[in-house]
Structure 1
Amino acid sequence: MSECRHFLVSGRVQGVFFRASARARAVELGLTGWVANRPDGRVEGLACGPPAALDDFQAWLWEGPEAARVTGVECGPAPDATAPPEFTIR
Structure 2
Amino acid sequence: MKAEEYNLTGWVRNIPDNKVDGEAQGDEKGVAALLEYVKEGPKLAHVVKLETADRDLVDGEQGFVVRR
TM-score, normalised via structure 2 length = 0.89
Paired positions, count: 66
CA-based RMSD: 1.2
Aligned-partner Cα distance in 1 for 2:48–2:38: 10
Gaps of 5+ in 1: 1-23
Q: Is 2:61 the counterpart of 1:82?
A: no
Structure 2 gap ranges (5+): none
Cα distance in structure 1, aligned partners of 2:41 and 2:27:
20
After TM superposition, list the pairs within 5 Å mapping 1:27-42 onto structure 2: 27-42=4-19
Out of 38-47 and 24-33, give the one that drifted further.
Answer: 38-47
CA-CA distance at 1:32 after TM superposition: 0.6
Please name the residue that 2:31 is paired with.
54
* Identical counterparts, % of pairs: 33
More strand by share: 1
How far apart in 2 are the matches of 1:74 and 1:58?
A: 10
Q: Note the alpha carbon deviations across 1:59-87, whole angstroms, 9 max, x for none.
A: 111111100010110011112x4152110
Cα deviation, 1:12-67, whole Å, max 9, x if unaligned, reads xxxxxxxxxxxx10000000100001123210000010011101111111111100
Q: Provide TM-score, normalisation by structure 1.
A: 0.68
C-alpha distance in 1, partners of 2:4/2:27?
Answer: 13
